[in-house]
Chains A and B, each alone.
Chain A
Amino acid sequence: MKVLVSFFAVLVLALVAYAGVEAANLQYLFGVIIPYAAFVTFLAGVVFRILKWGSSPVPFRIPTTCGQQKTLPWIKSSKLENPSGLLGVIARMALEVLFFRSLFRNLRTQLSDGPRLAYGEAKWLWLAGLAFHWSFLIILLRHLRFFMEKVPLPITMIEALDSFLQLGAPLLYMTDVVLLLAVTYLFIRRVGIPQLRYISLINDYFPLFLILGIAVTGVLMRYFFKVDVVGAKMLAMSLISLKPALPEVQIGALFYTHLFLLSVLFAYFPFSKLTHMAGVFLSPTRNMANNSRAKRHVNPWNYPVHVHTYQEYEDDFREKMKGAGLPVEKE
């Protein structure tokens, strides 16, 4: 049910854009107004989200320690898994963000257990997650060529690397394939594994289909139903230079569908779990050094509390204390 709703939601969105351009000639709406609106929503939403997270303080130093603490000099501490200073934290976060260190933790178990397929799912989750996020990033970077008059060297290099297989014409980008495979896997996993299906929400399926939709329309454009790339670039350039103008040529409805789904993704982003991209950097169990005994951590809302003082305690038990030979403050 949740799957179907998500699927049809994305399908309808795609059709709306396609029909809107093809039948109603709403190029300006789908090519200019919506992308601008989506981008503004994205920026404002993410900034708002981060500010909102940031507005809640971190009252306590609560890193999850995954290795030996730093104590005596002759005991080797685990600088990456239990960092005691800023450098260690940066390294830990880098491992986490770039290589999904914590997800990888599942893997060690698997390896030591032999190559049983039954036990491999966690490994695939890590691999697919990594493949998905990295290829998404590379694809995003590749798209920068549409926003620059002269394509800078790093981007051409990425393109060259991405297509080094030299297959087909236009050259096949590996990341396109990897992204499609990874997203498909993540989807199959979600519906195929009972416990995962049990916990999954529409909020989990919808972005998967949306990204799948964006990828599919992109692939169709590049490899199968050619659109006018020069026109697309002209539109992109005009958008980025804040002088939006539709190109003379017809770019093709597929392009507008692609752009529209992307706009939906951008607009949806700040209101969804996709914000984990920004949130991971703020996670107090990962981004703090484990040095709370060496360096005082201050809680901004620390307030005085009602305590049972020693004097009250002695008043309660003075005779008994004296009887047991314990020293007292007041005789």
Chain B
Amino acid sequence: MDLNALLKEKQPAIVEKWFETVLAAYPENTANIYRKSEAQFTNPLGYNARQGVEGLFDALLKGVMLEEASGFLDNIVRIRAIQEFPPSQALSFIYELKKIVRAEIGKAVAEQGLTEDLDSFLSTIDDLALFAFDLYMGCREKLFEIKVNEMKNSTFRLIQQANRVGGKQE
């Protein structure tokens, strides 16, 4: 059995635990609502988080390019970037995956001598984390950009007006 097969076998359990880690950031009674509902539109946070972890893990298994996984990562990071988590806390769930994977298949890996494969798999998770920091920063920058744009937009007509008044005086 190779590493991929091992991971695939444990995929549901790993994903479930990973999803719980994402929810662990919220108060118990809130997490419960996020956790329970599968509704895409009335529970967007829970839905996107689940889609996110499922999709991400799938992408990791298939070894697809990080860019392609970015949509799933974005699902989770974009909301966390505005939920007043510091970056370390907002993105800690990615490192948690390493722990979960080790806990789930560590023993089997050791038995079957796949340690090297596992290390390389875990290092892709590190890459994922780095990538997530980029996304997180992108989101925060976007937020500031939006604030600036809003100010600009709200003064645009005033400036237009001022220019016109100025023009008339000349």
A197 to B38, CA, bound (A): 22
Taking CB atoms and an 8 Å cut-off, the chain B residues in 131-147 that contact chain A are none
Complex interface: chain A residues within 8 A of B31 (CB) = 194
Contact yes or no, A109 B39, CB < 8 A: yes
The answer to whether the Cβ of A118 comes within 8 Å of any Cβ in the partner chain is yes
Tell whether B32 is near chain A: CB-to-CB under 8 Å: yes
What's the minimum C-beta distance from B31 to chain A, rounded to whole angstroms?
A: 8
Chain B neighbourhood of A194, CB < 8 A: 28-29, 31-32
Asked whether A314 is an interface residue with its Cβ less than 8 Å from the other chain, the reply is no
- For the complex, what is the distance from the CA of A197 to the CA of B27, rounded to whole Å? 13
Name the one of A119, A193, A196, A197 contacting B37, with C-beta atoms under 8 angstroms: A119
**Is residue A74 within 8 Å, beta carbon to beta carbon, of the partner chain?**
no
Task: Count residues of A near B (Cβ-Cβ below 8 Å).
Answer: 12
B29 touches A198 (CB 8 A): yes
Flag if B33 contacts A195 (CB, 8 Å): yes
**A248 part of interface (Cβ distance < 8 Å):** no
A113 near B39: Cβ-Cβ < 8 Å? yes
Q: Smallest CB-CB separation from B35: which chain A residue?
A: A118
Does A121 touch B at the CB level, under 8 Å?
A: yes
> A110 CB to closest chain B CB, in angstroms?
8
Contacts of A118 in B (CB 8 A): 36-38
Closest beta carbon of chain B to A120's beta carbon, Å: 9
CB of B162 to closest CB in A, whole Å = 16
In the bound assembly, the distance between CA atoms of A116 and B38 in angstroms comes to: 8
- Tell whether B163 is near chain A: CB-to-CB under 8 Å: no
Instruction: Render A40-68 as a binary contact track against B, CB cut-off 8 A, 1 for contact.
Output: 00000000000000000000000000000
A193 pairs with B32, CB closer than 8 A: yes
> Which 8 pairs between the two chains have the least Cβ-Cβ distance?
A195-B29, A194-B29, A198-B29, A194-B32, A194-B28, A118-B36, A116-B38, A119-B37
Give B residues with C-beta under 8 Å from A: 28-33, 36-39, 42
> CB within 8 Å of B: which residues of A?
109, 113, 116, 118-119, 121, 193-198
- Additional A-B contacts beyond A119-B39, A195-B29, A198-B29 (7; CB < 8 A): A109-B39, A118-B36, A194-B31, A195-B32, A195-B33, A196-B29, A197-B29
